[in-house]
Amino acid sequence: MGLNPGSVYGAYGNKHDLFIAAMRRYLEDVTREGIDRIAAAPTGREGIRSYFDYLTEGIVSGRRQWGCLGTNAFMEMADRDDTVQTIMKEHFDKLEVAFREALERDRADLPCRLEPVDFARYLVCVAQGLNVLSKTAPDRQKLNGIVDAAMLPVTALEEDCVR
Amino acid sequence: MGLNPGSVYGAYGNKHDLFIAAMRRYLEDVTREGIDRIAAAPTGREGIRSYFDYLTEGIVSGRRQWGCLGTNAFMEMADRDDTVQTIMKEHFDKLEVAFREALERDRADLPCRLEPVDFARYLVCVAQGLNVLSKTAPDRQKLNGIVDAAMLPVTALEEDCVR
DNA sequence: AATTTTCATGAATCTTCATTCAAGAATGCG
DNA sequence: CGCATTCTTGAATGAAGATTCATGAAAATT
C-alpha cells in the first residue's frame, strides 16, 4: 500500500491489532450484504437462496479469490486467539439467527421433525463448507449443484423436487 | 518429541517435506476409516450417516481437538502450495466418489431432480463445514442436529421425516 | 509567519525460526 | 574387537519479519 512501517504501527499499534481491525471491517463490508439479503427477499426460502447465490457468485467471480477472510482466520487462529474466536462466533451467530428467522417465516413448508434452529445451524455449516471448497476453484455449475442439494430440505414439499 | 533439529532434517530434509509426510499419514490413518465406513454399511444411507457419526464423534471426543489436519492445512496453504492443494483435492475426490457410490446404491430413494454427483459434492461440502464448525467446540446435540438436517435430502421420502 | 502538534520516513534493532554443521555416540558388520 | 557407517547432538548461521526510533516533513494552531 506504499505505507511505511512506522505509520502503520503509529495507527494500529501492532500487527495483530491491525489484523483484527481488517477482519472486523471485512465482516462488516463483505458479510453484511449477504446476511441482509436473507431478510430482504419476499420469502424466507428465497432469502436463503439469495444468500448462497451471493456467496457462490463471489467465489466464481474472483471477488473471494482467497476465500473468506473470516473463515481463513478462524481456521488458522481460532484455537490460539480468543479475539478471532469470539469475532467469528458472533458472525456465526448472526448468520444462524438470520437463517432461523427466514425459516420461521416459511415454517409451514418445513419438514416436521426438525427445529428451525437445527436447520439454521445446518445452513451455517453448508456456508462454511462452501468457503472451504472455494479454495478448489470450483465452477459455477458445481457450486449451484451443491446449493441445489443443500436447499432440498427447504424445498422438500415442492412437487417438482421430490418424486 | 525430544528430537533435535539435526535428526529431523536428516530424516525429512526440510520442514515442508516433513509436514507433507505428516499430512499424508494423517489422511491415511484418520480419514480412511471414515471413508471405509461409507461402503461398509448395509445401505448407502446408513453408510453416509456412519461417516458423519464418526466425524462428529471425533469432534466431540477431542480426538479431533485441533480440527482436521487436512482441512486446516488446505485452508492455510492451498493457494500457495500445490502439493497441499493436490493432496486435498484427491481427498475430496475420494470422499465424493464414496458418497456417490453410496447414493447410487439407494438411488430409488433419491429426490428425482438431482444427480448423485451433485449430491455427493454437497455431502463433501457439509463434511468440510463440520470441520470448520469443530473449531467452535460444538456439543454432540448441535452436531447431531446439523447432521440430521444434512441427511434430510437422503431421507426425504421417509414418511416420518416429511410432513 | 512562528510555533506546536501530528504524522511519515526508512534504516536499525530485536525476535523468531528454519536450516546447517562439526563433533560425538551408537550401531552394524567383518 | 576394530572399523565403517549411520544417527544424534545442540550450538551456530542466516534469513525473514516484527517492531522501534531519531529525524524530517506536513498540518494545525496561535
CATH number of the domain encompassing residue A79: 1.10.357.10
Q: State whether the beta carbon of B86 lies below 7 angstroms from any atom of strand C.
A: no
Residue contact A145–B122, C-beta within 8 A: yes
Task: Give residue B123's pLDDT.
Answer: 98
Residue contact B132–A132, C-beta within 8 A: yes
| Residue B159 resides in a domain | no
Mark which residues 122-151 of B lie under 8 Å from A by CB.
Answer: 122, 124-133, 135-136, 142, 145-146, 148-150
**CA-based torsion, A30, A33, A36, A42: positive or negative:** negative
| Residue A85 resides in a domain | yes
Q: How many domains does chain B have?
A: 1
pLDDT band (50, 70, 90) for residue B107 = confident
CA distance A135 to A71: 12
Over residues B69-91, mean pLDDT: 97
- Which of B25-39, B46-60, B97-111 shows the lowest per-residue confidence on average (mean pLDDT)? B97-111
Over residues B127-152, mean pLDDT: 97
Task: Give residue B161's pLDDT.
Answer: 43
Q: Which residues of chain A have pLDDT under 50?
A: 159-163
Q: Per residue in B56-85, is it b (16+ CB within 10 Å) or e — as a string?
A: bebbbeeebeebbbbbbbbbbbbbebebbb
* Residue A76 lies in domain: 5-154
pLDDT at B3 over 50: yes
| Residue A125 resides in a domain | yes
Task: Give residue B54's pLDDT.
Answer: 97
CA distance B119 to B127: 12
Task: Give residue B65's pLDDT.
Answer: 87
Give the position of cell 436473507: A38
| Residue B145 resides in a domain | yes
pLDDT band (50, 70, 90) for residue B156 = low
For residue B162, give the nearest of A66, A124, A156 by CB distance: A156
For residue B118, give the nearest of A89, A149, A161 by CB distance: A149
| Residue B62 resides in a domain | yes
| Residue B160 resides in a domain | no
| Residue A45 resides in a domain | yes
| Residue B162 resides in a domain | no
Over residues B124-143, mean pLDDT: 98
Q: State whether the beta carbon of B3 lies below 7 angstroms from any atom of strand D.
A: yes
Residue contact A133–B92, C-beta within 8 A: yes
